[in-house]
Structure 1
């Protein structure tokens, strides 16, 4: 059996099985068919190893909300006609989801996207989830609704984008001298751990600079290698990771800082910043002064809510606040039962703004 990438396999599944069957039994049905949402194949990172679980020919079918009575009927039609195998791969119809687009998006984002999204909404959306919605492939879209939503979520609004970049620069500014201070007193392990945190921040910053949603840890490095900056930056970041002494770590970090400062200036979103590292007060530690760069970026923010938030604290979005997998998915399992359906993280932001 020859391995077929998931997006291609699902494309064939739609056009060779799903669409002909639905057209025959439900000829007037208007729907969308796509491969989006969870799964390595959605982002194109699946390999032969991926096929050992939760993988196979599948699609998501999106009907109109008023057609919800047909969800089960269509599923049973697909199930009763499905082959045991498709191009040699087992068919499990439980992986083919039939729902409405609003229900799917509410489950993923915890927000009603038929209404205008607020700034605070964007700060609660994990980049991985946004990547799952705009990634993958659409095989049919009779109403155009799915295409419009994917366009709407294609990337962060300008002021959210600026705020997220400022938040990462601020994180770098808070810890860049700690890498060197801990190493200076002989704590090489502690220095290495902090350096790794900064490497991750630099990588996340590069995703933002190139306006790409960063995936979750399994594919983080793989996706980073596809960025334009990776050719220059990857060898430098590897040097940070393998450095055995804080001085070697500092040398590599300085190269990385100066490169991302250079990339920042190319964007033209602030007045030109100094691309050269400087000393941290009178200490023998070289830094890029990330917090000052963060402050420069926030001056370009016009959104009143985000401007008010940045005056309180440059905390960023959910991806900057935590890397806890369950908390990142908080929108999918927590919504208060009041009319605004505010999730827990949004309540935190609102408390900060009081």
Structure 2
């Protein structure tokens, strides 16, 4: 669960349609009633899209701009929930045109349009435009929406998500606090308000990412108190989320017995509300098992592989900022070599010299520059250790500029960066390897991504399948790893998010490919090579099997949520980290793969591979990618590929 799993709804124009003054050519009530009937009868997957398309075409043909805007407002919500981001962007542009032509600037309805448009851009990963329209909406909302209007609170909740997705956790936290204040103002009784509880849980989960564990425990506890003190609210699905959120905070704080208690309470309710076959139940059940194993391992005096490390890492998520109260004191130059990760060192170095870099004539550039550490290097993956310090390591960070700013200011800013001290907090920049150049300093956004992926922009979600298939997972991992410390303009984060957003059709195709290779190497060729007593070929089968299984685990967990599988050197380190993450799918395969690769010619190797394949089949069934129970993974491929919507022949191998 991340800090915004409990998303507040985006404001809808539905509650505003009477005030918009629709003319007699369009009946808003009839339009909404028809849409409500579709969803009430669970026909949304087949009838909602043609209904909206027909309504929009009718509004356009009748030249009724109010009607057109009404349909667009609902269509944007549909597009967001179905990942139709390209279409949503076109609708967003038209909504802005209609907002102007209908004279809705600085009106309540016009502000709601801005919120919807900003959210469409955010979910499409176009962060610079999303920020532009959230800022405009917030400015207008000060006089168009009252502080007791829940739509104003929803604005700040969604604005918070933008900051969270671009790595600015402190700003994300500020916006959520503002949303909470507005919800409390608008509530008849905040102590009985489920929406207030949801926001408190979101704040607590965000604070876990910021290392503010005490505050996280406090806020998630406050959220749970609202449900505990109001039994009539406990029939809401959000009650289970509040239980799980508090349990997660307790787990990170080290209060394992209470964490287990609340996770088990959540699990019981999820079973009642959703059933044991739901993904929500599966995830929470795995969390319960993880806590139980952690308790057992502590009681035995030693934690199982990676859990102690992950308990600490969960308090500082991969892209978390170091909280202001816990960051290293960068002014204390007498501190010699404190234990810092490369990302922590990089962040501290930026905090120390940010003002110096962007002073004077470059002061205004700071609002358009992105700062962070992404790309090649063990610290970008979060796996650096003492051995990493002998090359391409030390106080450093990247400054990413647009092409225009790079051409105008790049040389001057690089001179300032080069002049910064080579030693900081006891760390010195180590010798650069031949491949280490271009990993830090001032870079254009285009050239940075081109240097890693060969492309300045991510391929389109549809129509460029060949470009997605040319990008290895390890390449995509290098383009999206690390951390972004600041990106007020959002241009870099938007570009980076584009590479994170692997189209689901591509993901499904890769899952099919991995199933084929796992089956070929582990279920067929290994035994044949063993019969031929070809040990070298058996080793290669195991290697291919392990690489494909580890890739499949990342794909089934969805790279949009967990990132991509890195290249071979860090593949197992990343898999261990993923496998100890709460809610991870197929988390139990990592130790089996490690045992297999350490004993590839063992008599039990085939048994281990068979066990792994059986668990993969179960996961395919849980995720409803295949409803078959064949042991042989190759036979599941047609069922997986049947979920691919694209008609491109590149994505249909069978």
Scaled by the length of structure 2, the TM-score of the pair is: 0.43
Structure 1 residues 42 and 174, CA, compared in 2 at 3 Å: closer, same or farther? same
Q: Which has the larger radius of gyration?
A: 2
What secondary structure, in the 3-state scheme, does the structure 2 residue paired with 1:28 have? helix
Name the Cα RMSD after superposition.
2.5
**Distance in structure 1 (CA, Å) of the matches to 2:534 and 2:493:** 52
Structure 1 equivalent of residue 327 of structure 2 = none
Q: CA deviation at 1:147?
A: 2.0
In the other structure, the counterpart of 1:2 is: 338
C-alpha distance in structure 1 between counterparts of 2:459 and 2:593, whole Å: 42
Q: Give the number of equivalent residue pairs.
A: 296
1:57 equivalenced with 2:395 (yes/no): yes
Structure 1 match to 2:410? 71
Please point out which of 283, 300, 304 is paired with 2:643.
300
Q: Deviations over 1:189-226 (max 9, x none)?
A: 53343233223221221121112411111111111112
Does 2:615 correspond to 1:268? Answer: no
How far apart, in 1, do the equivalents of 2:386 and 2:532 lie?
47
CA distance in 2, matches of 1:169, 1:61: 40
Structure 1 unaligned residues grouped into runs of 5+: 276-287, 315-354
2:554 alignment counterpart: 207
Task: Name the counterpart of 1:151.
Answer: 497
Q: Secondary structure at the match of 2:588?
A: helix
Aligned to 1:36: 374
Whole-Å separation in 2 of the counterparts to 1:264 and 1:9 = 41
What residue is the counterpart of 1:336 in the other structure?
none
Deviation sequence 1:6-51 (CA, Å, 0-9, x none):
1111111111113433134411112111111111111110111111
1:183 to 514, 517, 530: 530
1:105 to 430, 437, 449: 449
Higher relative contact order (CA 8 A, sep 6+): 1
Task: Tell me the secondary structure at the aligned position of residue 304 of structure 1.
Answer: coil
Counterpart CA distance in 1 for 2:372 and 2:595 is 41
Q: 1:33 is paired with a residue of what secondary structure?
A: strand
| Conservation of the 8 A alpha-carbon contact between 2:342 and 2:379 | yes
Structure 1 or 2: larger helix share?
2
Q: Which shows bigger deviation, 162-171 or 137-146?
A: 137-146
- 1:295 Cα shift? 1.8
Q: Does 1:46 align with 2:397?
A: no
Greater share of strand:
1
Looking at structure 1, the residues matched to 363 and 543 of structure 2 have their Cα atoms a distance apart, in angstroms, of: 56
Distance 1:91 1:177, change over 3 A: closer
Maintained 8 Å contact 1:102/1:112: yes
Q: Counterpart of 1:284?
A: none
How many Å apart are 1:3 and its aligned residue? 3.3
Tell me the SS of whatever aligns to 2:505.
helix
Provide Cα deviations, 1:254-275, integer angstroms capped at 9, x if missing partner: 11110111112111123x1215
Written as runs of structure 1 = structure 2, the 5 A alignment for 1:114-193 is: 116=460, 118-175=464-521, 176-193=523-540
Alignment CA distance shift 1:257-1:108 (3 Å):
same
| Alignment match, 1:342 | none
The answer as to whether partners of 2:372 and 2:397 remain within 8 angstroms in 1 is yes
Shift of 1:74: 1.2
Instruction: Structure 2: give runs of 5+ residues left out of the alignment.
Output: 1-336
Q: In the aligned structure 1, how far is the partner of 2:459 from the partner of 2:602? A: 53
Name the structure 1 match of 2:592.
Answer: 236
CA distance in 1, matches of 2:600, 2:401: 54
Instruction: Tell me the secondary structure at the aligned position of residue 142 of structure 1.
Output: coil
